[in-house]
Amino acid sequence: MARVGIDLEAVESQLVKSAESLYEMLDKLLPEKEGVLEDRLIEAMRYSTLSRGKRIRPFLTIEASKLFGVSMSSAQRVAAAIEFIHAFSLIHDDLPALDNDELRRGEPSCHKKFDEATAVLAGDALLAYAFEVLADSQTHQDSGVRVELVRNIAQVTGFRGMIGGQMIDMLAPHNTMGFPEIVRLQRMKTGEFFAVSCEAGAILGKAPHSLRNALRTYARNIGIAFQITDDLLDVEGNRDITGKNVQKDKAQNKATLVECLGIEEAREHAVRLARQAVEYLAPFDSRADVLRDLAEFVIIRQY
């Protein structure tokens, strides 16, 4: 059951604290400019990863890791790799040939700040670097754990996951998508990546499959609720608060659950998903309360 009367400010402050701590790890892992010809690439990788963001996916990794006594250093390296992949996907999605978005997290998107070629390559480099970090022995002493992280994260990133979802998003105007197709799209685009971000903590902790699956399902639901809230903010939100342009989905004729179900029913669906998500946390004690509260946060956030 969802907890009654969650302390929204407490969740937000935990997110902020976690994001600050992750920032240090991102900053440490990212290459530094070193007076070489490719410094522009490194600058773009840093620009797009270190810009402010909610850092919800890495937050899931870190909070799930805490449930299994995983070392903070391991958890943060995996969380950073997940954020690199998220940054890669935002850079490429914003490109003129894709969503053509000039604003991201309140700042010029990567290709506006640099140029298109640099944005393509910075996204590519972040994607490759994520797997380099995951595979490095500093991430976990057990190579079986590292390789499982690589495999699972690569799978939800690729054609079956985020990238496949983005392809559908690009083609959507030319197709008629109903409720089941949109739900499948949102699982691919957002749900599965949330799922693996959270499961990663359990993989690091060598948790049994039952608990891994519980965390996956929790986070998949959270992810889709998060996506619906994003789509609601696109319809109703304020650019000054969200830090990105609004009313884009309509302009781009994107298939969203808000458009499919209407505002009220979409909001109810997101609430239902968040409630269901919390039920999957039943095997965990009060240490999972942050994750329980997060389920509320993702649906009532204004940014």
Helices (H), the chain: 8-29, 39-50, 56-67, 72-94, 110-113, 116-135, 143-157, 162-171, 179-186, 192-204, 209-236, 239-242, 248-251, 257-261, 263-279, 289-300
Structure token pair of residue 102: 């000039």
Candidate segments 48-56, 114-122, 194-202, 208-216, binder of a second copy by CB under 8 A: 114-122
Q: Does 8 interact with a second copy (rule: CB under 8 A)? A: no
Shortest distance in whole angstroms from residue 48 CB to a second copy:
13
| Position 51 contacts a second copy (CB under 8 A) | no
Q: Number of residues in contact with a second copy, rule: CB under 8 A? A: 56
Taking a C-beta distance cutoff of 8 angstroms, is the pair 219, 197 a contact?
yes
| Residue 149: CB minimum distance to a second copy, A | 8
Cβ 145 to a second copy shortest distance, Å = 8
CA angle 67, 68, 71 (to 5 degrees): 105
For the segment 159-188, give every residue that binds a second copy (CB under 8 A).
Answer: 159-160, 163-168, 170-172, 175, 177, 181, 185, 188
128 lines the binding site for a second copy (CB under 8 A): yes
Q: List binders of a second copy among 180-239 (CB under 8 A).
A: 181, 185, 188
- For residues 303 and 233, the answer to whether their CB atoms sit within 8 Å is yes
Closest distance of CB 285 from a second copy, Å:
31
- Under the binding rule (CB under 8 A), the answer on residue 134 touching a second copy is yes
Which residues lie across from 107 on neighbouring strands? 104
Residue closer to a second copy (CB basis): 158 or 208: 158
Nearer to a second copy, 199 or 296 (CB): 199
Tokens standing for residue 5: 């009367």
Nearer to a second copy, 79 or 185 (CB): 185
The count of residues in the chain is 303
CB of 81 to a second copy, least distance (A): 11
The reply on whether position 49 binds a second copy by CB under 8 A is no
Contact 229, 299 (CB under 8 A): yes
Q: At what angle do helices 289-300 and 56-67 cross, to 10 degrees?
A: 160
The verdict on 107 binding a second copy (CB under 8 A) reads: no
- φ, ψ for residue 68, nearest 5 deg: -120, 15
Q: Which residues in the 66-95 window bind a second copy by CB under 8 A?
A: 88, 92, 95
Element (DSSP H or E) covering residue 137: none
Return d(Cα 66, Cα 207) in angstroms, integer. 12
| Interaxial angle between packed helices 143-157 and 192-204, expressed in degrees from 0 to 180 and rounded to the nearest 10 | 180
- Pick the stretch among 14-22, 150-158, 244-252, 261-269 that binds a second copy (CB under 8 A): 150-158
150: contact with a second copy by CB under 8 A: yes
What is the contact surface with a second copy in residues (CB under 8 A)? 31, 37-38, 40-42, 45, 88, 92, 95, 97-98, 115-118, 120-121, 123-125, 127-129, 131-132, 134-136, 143-144, 146-148, 150-151, 154-155, 157-160, 163-168, 170-172, 175, 177, 181, 185, 188
